[in-house]
Amino acid sequence: MANKKKVVIEKASATRVKENKTLYIGIDLGTNHTAISTSEGKKKSILSIVGIPRDAVASKFLKKERLYGDEALKHRVALNMFKPIESGLLKNQREDLEAAKGLLQYIMGLVDANRDVKKYAIIGVPSQASVLNKKIITEMAKDFFDGVMVASEPFCVAYNLGELEHTLVVDIGAGTTDICRVHGTLPEPDDQISSNKAGDYIDAELVRLISEEYANVRVTNEVAKKWKEHSSFVGEPEEEIVVDIPVDSSILKLSITKEIRTACESIIPDIMSGISKLISTYDPDFQEYLRNNIWLAGGGSLIRNIDVVLGKELELIDGGKVFKDTDPVFSGANGALKLAQDMPPEFWQTA
């Protein structure tokens, strides 16, 4: 049976090589999630988590050497867990690099991209990733592709939106909020400001605020994250947010409306100061365009009302227009894919 399957795969890939098919791939390598999108129209997103069974017993019971994404999270008590990307950077330890490679191979498998065809990929990474970190990522990924390039994620988002001139992208991720000016060329260090007040920070704030408000209540960051993803908002509440919280041996229904609002709003000041700085240091002839073309991206852009509240704050500094990206999960990967497809063929010969 196994042999039969192997023959079929080899036959299929041989045909494709003969056809000289090229597969273009866009990848968004994030702290929280990794998304992939291919020129065949396939896309997938998984949590950037890898789990390795702690011992032989766990390995036998789970029947796998490695688990990825949600599956790893589900069995985490039996696993050594790796999050190879931290605060937007790929960690440079051997185990993390191996985990990142495994993650890449796994997600490529999900979109049928582990076949023997020519593959050209662009990987979007946080705008602040250093030259060294970009090199580490290229090195880690090069075995998978015939050509690979690393590009700044906000640039990929802007490319996907078709907004390459005088655009301010505010990418609210898990580890960092990256604010980046895009103006035709690939962004330079001066075009970017990064803050560590993003999704993880909101979760930690929520835990702190709940335990301050309610004595004896202990909430984990994971639970706070779930509540946040379900009910996040800034500005005026639309309804009371009530959750079940275990206290001693019973479960109480407690309101966390105020805490959710305060935690979500804790990232606003850094975003505003970043936006204000990037507008004021831009070419004065084009500042008006920039302030009226602000795009929110990343999972944090799903916070209800965040575009409205930022718009109001902007009124205090001469106004501006804020838009929400409609597909925050895939816009980085889709933009990276479009960019890969638009690169001239000569580019890939040297990439």
Ligand X SMILES: Nc1ncnc2c1ncn2[C@@H]1O[C@H](COP(=O)(O)OP(=O)(O)OP(=O)(O)O)[C@@H](O)[C@H]1O
Q: Give the binding site for ligand X (CB under 6 A).
A: 30-33, 88, 126, 171, 173-176, 198-200, 225, 228-229, 232, 298-300, 302-303
Instruction: Answer with the entry of ligand X, Mg ion, none that 90 interacts with (C-beta below 5 to 8 A by kind).
Output: none
Whether 25 contacts 37, CB under 8 Å: yes
Tokens of 150: 């690393």
Tell me whether strands 50-53 and 79-82 are parallel, antiparallel or unpaired.
Answer: antiparallel
Q: Which amino acid is at 339?
A: L
175 is a contact residue toward Mg ion (CB under 5 A): no
CA 23, chain centre distance (Å) = 23
Write down the least CB distance from residue 29 to Mg ion, Å. Answer: 8
Whole-angstrom CA distances from 43 to 72, 148, 339 are 20, 18, 16
Q: Does 328 bind Mg ion (CB under 5 A)?
A: no
154 binds Mg ion (CB under 5 A): no
Contacts of residue 155, Cβ cutoff 8 Å, sequence gap at least 6: 124, 127, 169, 180, 182, 186, 187, 335
CB 296 within 8 Å of CB 322:
yes
Q: Which 3 state secondary structure label does DSSP give 217?
A: coil
CA–CA distance from 46 to each of 32, 61, 137, 221 (Å)?
Answer: 9, 23, 18, 19
* CB 51, min distance to ligand X, A: 17
- In the complex, minimum distance from the CB of residue 124 to Mg ion, in angstroms, rounded to a whole number: 8
The angle formed by the CA atoms of residues 180, 184 and 187, to the nearest 5 degrees, is 35
Considering the complex, state which of residue 31 and residue 192 has its C-beta at the smaller distance from ligand X: 31
Structure tokens at 266: 């804790």
Among 23, 24, 30, 202, binds Mg ion (CB under 5 A): 30
26 contacts which partner out of Mg ion, ligand X, none, CB within 5 to 8 A by kind?
none
Least distance CB 46 / ligand X (angstroms): 11
Of these partners, ligand X, Mg ion, none, which one is at the site of residue 198 (CB under 5 to 8 Å by kind)? ligand X
Q: Which stretch binds Mg ion (CB under 5 A): 51-59, 173-181, 242-250, 316-324?
A: 173-181
The answer to the question of residue 173 lying near Mg ion (CB under 5 A) is: yes
Which residue minimizes CB distance to ligand X? Answer: 199
192 makes contact, choosing from Mg ion, ligand X, none, with CB < 5 to 8 Å by partner type, with: none
Q: Which does 147 bind (CB under 5 to 8 A by kind): ligand X, Mg ion, none?
A: none
* Residues in contact with Mg ion by the rule CB under 5 A: 30, 173, 298
